[in-house]
A and B are shown apart, each in its own frame.
Chain A
Amino acid sequence: MSLLNGITYGLLLFMLSSGLTLIFSMMGILNFAHASFYMLGAYFAYQISTWIGFWPGLLVAPLLVGAVGAAVERYGLRRAHRFGHVAELLFTFGLAFLVEEIVHLIWGKVAVDYRIPVELDGTLFSLFDTDFPIYKGFMMLVSVGMLIALYALLTRTRIGLIIQAALTKPDMVEALGHNVPRIFMLVFGGGTALAGLAGVIGGNAFVTEPGMAAAVGSIVFVVVVVGGLGSLGGAFVASLLIGCIQTFSVALSISVTDVFALIGVDLPEGSQLARLTITQLAPILPYMLMVAILIFRPRGLMGARES
């Protein structure tokens, strides 16, 4: 059961990290505002669901987010690009704060009531006395569908071929007569639309509140670093890995004392460390993994970059 939950969460992470890693390999910068687009997706979907329902929002919200993303690239990032990578990084940093403030202004500082639609509310099946909700199954379905579509687009179509080539050698692709700036805009828009879609289906599974971007943002960076900057395959593996680590560790009821006992170390009774459980450590596990990866394999699981 934890495995299924882990995979669902991992697939959601992949929807975010795939866009981020594509944008990274293309532009050479990490988009700090990427998780903000995830948040926008959730809020847009909430707004649309109050007007016309969840289902139209599922389609419209990611498209809107993608349009916002494309506009940000075209009118913001492209200008900042002329002043170098630092300017671009600062731009995305500022954008993240801007989005958060705008969300505060429009929707307030507390969580909004964005709910799972009634059709998808309920139990899909039960296993070992735990229920697996229909909505989790739906999330999996959407994520896997998206994944297959993305893979097909990148490997089977002409535009995908141009994108793949532009990821490594944008100058050459442009010299062959392809409008690379437009490709950049499309990839940025597509990547942010994916983040938006993740927000649409993640926002009601978790909570839709102004802090959600910051909460998921740092995890997504961990995923991208662990997987290897710029590697889609790496991002996929790392997403699932971290999704599972987080859900498993929450589900485990053993304490740090037990873990140390396993390797033959007895912790003194009553020390702070001994009283910790793995569940309490769950939030820092991904970061520990990232630090370990950076020490032992700086280019990530599947990264090609040396630096």
Chain B
Amino acid sequence: MTDALSKPMLQVADLHAYYGKSHVLHGVNLHVNAGEIVCLLGRNGVGRSTTAKAVMGQVVARGGIRFKGRDILGMKAFEIARYGIGYVPEDRSIFPDLTVRQNLMLGVKDTSRCGRWNIDDMYALFPRLKERDNTPGGVLSGGEQQMLTLCRTLMGDPDLIMIDEPTEGLAPKIVEQVGTFLQEIRKRGISILLIEQKLAIALDISERLYLMGHGRIVFEGTPADLKNNEAIRKEWLEV
């Protein structure tokens, strides 16, 4: 599927977005193929989250966004979600007063349809969540919340998930766990667009990487390409 001629699952072309009068995205181009983990890297404020929000229909944008062969730009967020994109925002957006189970149940879009994941699969993957089944989401630790929000999104049976900085603020051991988990769900046929600031898990698990700067893509390549290109890393990534 990495063949350039085969149709990518998600294709973003010449995407522009504005917040009020400020022009945030200046023609972003990227694509994610089926079953691929692609990482979108960059410093804070370069437009990575805005790109994800635009794909999700939460930011008004101009350009082209195609997903599974359909033009999704202009569709409503819930329609895009139902069409198969899962989104885990940077703040994780746990519902703090609802229990772990209720949080997970909210991920289910349509109770009459059986997705490829159910609540027992989630609990099997993360026994810790099962233990806290009846605990309000707000009292979980950062790592547990990250697992919960990932699981909640999977409950909606997406074909592609966009995850915004899943490792932020987590201990190294938990970061590793998140990386393993993402590879695990990729094995089940889900494509991933991973948004990161650090190279931590990005280099290990991604097939391809994009590097963003000032609202455009400034580098595209494999993890090996990026490792060997110190100049690019210095200019756009490292502080």
Interface residues of A (CB under 8 A from B): 158, 161-162, 164-165, 168-169, 171-181
Contact = CB atoms under 8 A, between A and B. Distances in A.
Given A161-B98, A161-B102, A174-B78, 17 more contacts: A158-B105, A164-B97, A165-B95, A165-B98, A169-B93, A171-B58, A172-B89, A174-B58, A176-B81, A176-B109, A177-B81, A177-B82, A177-B110, A178-B78, A178-B109, A179-B78, A180-B77
A126 B109 CA distance: 55
A177 B97 contact: no
Interface string B75-93: 0111001100001010001
Contacts of A165: 95, 98, 106
Contacts of B77: 171, 174-175, 180
The prevalent SS among residues of A at the interface is helix
Contacts of B215: none
Given A161-B98, A169-B95, A177 B89 contact: no
A177 B78 contact: yes
A192 to B, nearest CB: 24
15 contacts: A158-B105, A161-B106, A164-B98, A168-B96, A168-B97, A171-B58, A173-B106, A174-B58, A174-B76, A175-B58, A176-B153, A176-B156, A177-B81, A177-B110, A178-B78
Contacts of A181: 76
Q: Chain B, interface size: which category?
A: 20 to 34
Contacts of A171: 58, 77, 89, 93
Contacts of B58: 171, 174-175
A158 B95 contact: no
B156 A177 contact: yes
Given A171-B58, A171-B77, A176 B106 contact: yes
Contacts of B93: 169, 171-172
Contacts of B141: none
B95 A164 contact: yes
B192 to A, nearest CB: 16
